[in-house]
Structure 1
Amino acid sequence: MFMAKLIRHCTEHEIQLFTTSNYGPENLLDDDTFHHLVQPTIDRIQRDFIVFSLDHSVDYRQLESDPGLVPDGYRKGSLNLFETPDDMPVHDTMVEIGYDEIGPVHLRADEIWISFDQICRTRRNTADYLELASRYSCWHITSIPASSTLPMDEERRLANLIDIFYDKNVEVHLYAADNLGDLGHMLHDTERARLTSRLAQLQLNEYERTCVSR
């Protein structure tokens, strides 16, 4: 929506404009409630601009890395095929975020244990996630339900979290009912491909493991 005035101004004044997007014009602001608001801009882009798709079949994250390289940050994380470990600590602390609080969680130094319900089924936004990711460098997210059952809002929150953890190189351990193979089933292909690629960087564990507190 912020781009709408710029695109209109550029086309009306014959100003050449180059811009990039993660989505094709028809997929902009795809929420059914708001999509009609951006439809005139989509029509203008498709009428007055040339759209190039810059895509490639190679996932560079999957290429073989240096065997001597010790994983750190995000790549130290894991995807565990069980929703809660036997030795899960007691959740007894509330965390303030903005004018709200979230919890109860378990805190230990720069490590946080938090449930999926608390982080993805509450009214959290990207700003909240960025703030929380800057506070804790090791995360455990427990009780993640089967990925095929997640509604779009919960799915998108979890996808946003994983994007932030990856970009900020934050260690994260996910405890899930499945391997999250259906995560992203309601997202755009671009988002889903990025999400699948980033999840593949996590160690897959079928049995319980304990993260050693730093």
Structure 2
Amino acid sequence: MTFLHLVAYGATILAFCFVVLSLACGLYYLAELVEEYTVFTKKIIKYATGTVVFIHVCLFIFDRKPFFQVLFSLACHGVYSMNLQTFPFISLTSPPFLASCVLVLIDHFVWFQYFTRHYTPFMDIAAFFGVCVWLIPFAYFISLSANDNALPLSDPAAADAIPSQRKQGLFKTILGYITRRRDDSLPSSHINVQEYNITPNAGLSSSLRNSYGGGGLDNRKMM
């Protein structure tokens, strides 16, 4: 039984690695979709925020959730919505973004304290935190501008001014940085082509010039 327990631990670790890898691939794909469809993403976040607000109201009416906690969560989502004014540009130093980072932690702590005092099944707690607390902040997280030169795809004037730049999500930038560090750590062979001074088709070009050039000179002499 001891060896079987070791096998079970190894299988658990392997399953956890697969889950993390699947989650990373899913986040990367979502970041790609956000970059390609910024206007549509803005609409989705707007409607999702309204849906979460409606869920809070229903929880207050039907499940008798505490009024002040529900009101605080509604105020938090109101602050989150202020980031839509400049979407997909979200400055990491703007007051709405900084306030959102603080409020999402406070909102999580407020509801965590509530559920520790009032027994609720685990699935209900997980669903509440996943939908009502973390869904909207997570949507903003995967669509953050990674740098100050991010280019919104919905602004043609800006696209004409800086055509070579491309908007990147924060998650994609982090994943790309990890990939570059991994590639730099791997040994690679580098061949300097300029050392050999290779001119493609040099022999063929010279032979053609000699044949045509020589023939032309002979023709001129005969004339």
**TM class by smaller structure:** under 0.3
> Does 1 or 2 have the higher relative contact order (CA < 8 Å, sep 6+)?
1
Structure with more of its chain in strand, by fraction? 1
Please give the TM-score of this superposition, normalised by the length of structure 2. Answer: 0.25
Please give the TM-score of this superposition, normalised by the length of structure 1. Answer: 0.26
Structure with more of its chain in helix, by fraction? 2
